[in-house]
Amino acid sequence: MKLLASTVIVLSLTMYSCQEQDTQVIICSSIHGLHKSNSNYSYDDLFNYIENFDPEIVGVEIRQEDIDSSVSYLKNYYPFEMYETAKRNSMKSVYGFDWLGTSIEGKPIYSNYFKEIDILKLQKQSGTDSIFQESLNELHKLGALKNEIASSSTIIELNDGRYDSLNSLYYQKLDSLYSNTPYSKVAEFYRTRDNHISERINDIVSKHKGKRIIFILGADHRSNAVYTFHERFDSDPSVHLVEIK
């Protein structure tokens, strides 16, 4: 009887230990400035969700090389919810996963970067190119649908997959539209940025197995991040993508 009781205790402790080693990951879309106007998904809704999850590791859409920068620097280049999340969780391990171009890797972002970057100039130019008007109108309709969802959804609704599916379709059409044109670098930049973000997220997870981890990223980056997360970790039963509910 004592042997049986001891065996049960050992098995219970083993199961508890295994559960403790599971990695719980949340990849959560934010909506940047729309948090101000969307009463269903405010900044406080996001911050409260993070607090309730009580993560040990926090990832934000800030470049790693900027993660320890001053708020006065960060607010010039990043959305409020990103550097505010980093500040509120400063006693935890906070990592950045954004990427904004090869030319400034490992360097501070200089003041005119977003005015001078060729990608934004090309994108603006394509909007006035008569060849693309019909196709751009279709993209604009998809963009309006995305904005409609982002403007009214709760945190649960924004992360239920509907926005992600629409967003994937949007960027597939963008890729197709700009392929083999003078504007192909626009789609290439967005694709490269998404891939950098996703790879960085997966690397952070790999280095922190057994932890509760949350990543906060703009809604347009979530579809690729979730897809590549499943590609990398679906074969690992100890790593779980937690449903936002």
Q: What is the pTM of this model?
A: 0.89
- Number of alpha helices (DSSP H) and beta strands (DSSP E) in the chain: 11, 5
Kindly provide the residue ranges of all beta strands, DSSP E only, lying in 65-202, ordered along the sequence: 93-96
What is residue 127's predicted lDDT score, i.e. its pLDDT?
73
In this structure, are residues 154 and 214 in contact, taking their beta carbons and an 8 Å threshold?
no
Taking a C-beta distance cutoff of 8 angstroms, is the pair 173, 142 a contact?
Answer: yes
**Cα distance between residue 96 and residue 147, in whole Å:** 26
- How much is the pLDDT for 138? 86
Q: Identity (one letter) of the amino acid at 131? A: I
How far apart, in whole angstroms, are the C-alpha atoms of residue 73 and residue 111? 10
State residue 20's pLDDT score.
54
Q: Nearest CA to 43 among 56, 58, 30? A: 30
Delimit the domains of the chain by residue range.
19-241
Closest to 215 measured CA to CA, from 35, 43, 50: 50
H or E element in which residue 121 lies:
helix 118-126
What is the pLDDT tens value at each position of the chain, 245 positions in all? 444 444 444 344 444 444 458 999 999 999 999 999 999 999 999 999 999 999 999 999 999 999 999 999 999 999 999 999 999 999 999 999 999 999 999 999 999 998 888 888 888 887 777 777 777 888 899 999 999 999 999 999 999 999 999 999 999 999 998 898 888 999 999 999 999 999 999 999 999 999 999 999 999 999 999 999 999 999 999 999 999 99
